[in-house]
């Protein structure tokens, strides 16, 4: 079953976090990465920090109905923060007809204008617009004000959506001690606002879409980045008569090597920023769960018997890459032979070797290959000495299974869906997500 999720990240000029100090709200740029400020379980929408910037993230969904409700939810959210209503005529027809439904409008008691209500979509969020007798009403259920977001209208930063933290926000990234320090405690309050809203500016962010893609469908897309990817994969497979699955798997390996070989990856996002299409699925899991027995036998024979020492000793990452957080570039000594062996056998190490902190210099674990994630980022394999639930880097984080054999890929460049890499206003963002859903195979009614 295909699934789609998305992320929409905003620069500080468009949306940003605010924190209260001495009774006043002030811009706040130091919310740690992956700090979750808000999450709606019903809608499957979170607001998190990415390097201090506001990022809206969706849970992956399998149906057009669920995706449509997520998009409506976000449109409502931005309308209330920015005061700018969605331009329905600029939406795709599939989505626009739901925004046009009169049943989704209520009258704001202060402005006397129709306002779309997110809580009418899934029974969650922003009941402050239905304030009655000092309490907030969600449909027919009354809740204490402290349990739901509040909205402060017309501040110097536009409307502020004030959010009480359900869980503390801690600083995971590159903390040398196992216990990550708490930056914002539970029940602290952060707000999200749009600095340019008072001047009528549109709120724009960069969108990324995450889709499930059958492995055999990847070569055509990966080869479009550089024809040399396909040429090198086919040269590697010469004389093997591979199945379509093994062919696609080898193309995926050469795509990864192409990214690391052709760029010095200096972005604070780390090496993932160099992938126009980022595979988030652990390659070892594809080897174990997606390749058939005959595919693995052929692959193993090639690695064991037909690769020269010069090929095996070549570097997977001949250029350095960033470890994020403005740290120095890192030269990964990983060889092609070591990487291929880790795809076949994992990178188990011993209990003493495995990552016990967040420096990311230990083995990746028996169920992961040596690029899942690359050295310098904490391994996905948990260790008793590390905090439970610690955030780890997205590369190779997801695992293929027999039941779900697809590759989870992140479109970091959404030009295929009409988005490109430029910042998009809501209407263009929503249309990109709908186009991506159509390509993923979700039925768009």
Using a cut of 0.85, tell me whether the model's pTM lies above it.
Answer: no
Give percent of the chain above pLDDT 70. 81
Domain boundaries in the chain? 4-206, 215-403
Tell me the three state secondary structure of residue 431: helix
170 to each of 173, 321, 358, 384, how far by Cα in Å?
Answer: 9, 25, 13, 18
* Token couple for 394: 């997205």
Look at residue 100 in the predicted model and tell me its pLDDT: 65
> In the structure, what pLDDT confidence band is assigned to residue 131 with cuts at 50, 70 and 90?
very low
Q: Tens of pLDDT along 149-158?
A: 565 656 666 6
Closest CA to 316 of 347, 341, 296: 341
> In the structure, what pLDDT confidence band is assigned to residue 134 with cuts at 50, 70 and 90?
very low
Q: Of the segments 197-206, 280-289, 327-336, 355-364, which one has the largest average pLDDT value?
A: 280-289
Least confident of 106-110, 212-216, 421-425: 106-110
Residues 6 or more apart in contact with residue 176 via CB below 8 angstroms: 357, 358, 359
Look at residue 146 in the predicted model and tell me its pLDDT: 44
Q: Tens of pLDDT along 101-118?
A: 644 444 445 555 545 444
Q: Tens of pLDDT along 268-318?
A: 888 998 998 999 999 999 999 999 999 999 999 999 999 999 999 999 999
The β-bridge partners of 20 are 25
- Judge whether residue 18 has pLDDT over 50: yes
Least confident of 53-62, 111-120, 419-428, 436-445: 111-120
Q: Can you tell me the mean pLDDT for 33-37?
A: 86
Q: Tens of pLDDT along 319-329?
A: 999 987 656 78
Q: Centre a 10 Å sphere on the Cβ of residue 132 and count the other Cβ atoms it contains.
A: 10
Look at residue 154 in the predicted model and tell me its pLDDT: 62
- Judge whether residue 209 has pLDDT over 70: yes
């Amino acid at each position: 079953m295909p699934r789609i999720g998305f992320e929409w990240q905003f620069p500080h000029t468009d949306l940003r976090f605010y924190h209260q100090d001495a009774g006043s709200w002030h811009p706040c740029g130091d919310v740690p990465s992956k700090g979750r400020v808000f999450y709606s379980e019903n809608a499957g929408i979170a607001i998190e920090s990415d390097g201090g910037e506001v990022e809206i993230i969706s849970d992956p969904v399998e149906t057009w109905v669920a995706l449509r409700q997520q998009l409506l939810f976000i449109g409502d959210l931005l309308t209330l923060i920015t005061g700018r209503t969605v331009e329905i005529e600029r939406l795709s027809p599939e989505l626009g007809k739901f925004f046009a439904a009169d049943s989704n409008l209520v009258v704001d008691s202060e402005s006397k204008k129709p306002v779309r209500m997110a809580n009418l979509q899934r029974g969650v969020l922003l009941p402050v617009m239905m304030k009655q007798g000092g309490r907030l009403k969600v449909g027919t259920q009354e809740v204490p004000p402290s349990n739901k977001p509040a909205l402060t209208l017309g501040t110097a930063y536009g409307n502020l959506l004030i959010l009480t933290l359900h869980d503390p926000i801690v600083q995971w990234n590159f903390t040398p001690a196992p216990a990550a320090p708490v930056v914002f405690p539970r029940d602290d309050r952060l707000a999200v606002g749009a600095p340019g809203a008072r001047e009528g500016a549109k709120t724009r962010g960069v969108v990324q879409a995450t889709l499930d893609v059958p492995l055999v469908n990847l070569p055509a897309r990966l080869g479009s980045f550089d024809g040399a990817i396909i040429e090198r994969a086919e040269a590697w497979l010469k004389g093997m008569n591979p199945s379509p699955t093994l062919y696609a798997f080898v193309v995926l390996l050469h795509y990864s090597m192409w990214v690391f070989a052709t760029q010095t990856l200096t972005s604070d996002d780390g090496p993932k920023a160099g992938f126009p299409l980022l595979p988030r699925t652990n390659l070892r899991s594809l080897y174990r769960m997606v390749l058939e027995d005959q595919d693995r036998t052929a692959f193993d024979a090639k690695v064991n018997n037909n690769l020269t020492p010069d090929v095996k000793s070549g570097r997977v990452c001949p250029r350095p890459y960033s470890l994020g957080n403005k740290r120095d570039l890192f030269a990964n000594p990983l060889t092609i032979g070591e990487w291929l062996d880790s795809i076949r056998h994992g990178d188990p190490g011993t209990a003493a070797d495995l990552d016990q902190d967040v420096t990311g210099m230990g083995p990746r674990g028996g169920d992961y290959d040596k690029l899942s994630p690359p050295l310098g980022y904490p391994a996905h394999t948990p260790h008793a000495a590390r905090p439970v639930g610690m955030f780890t880097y997205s590369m190779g984080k997801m695992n293929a299974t027999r039941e779900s054999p697809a590759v989870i890929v992140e479109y970091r460049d959404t030009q295929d869906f009409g988005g490109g890499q430029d910042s998009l206003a809501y209407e263009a963002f929503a249309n990109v997500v709908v186009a991506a859903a159509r390509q993923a195979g979700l039925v768009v009614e």
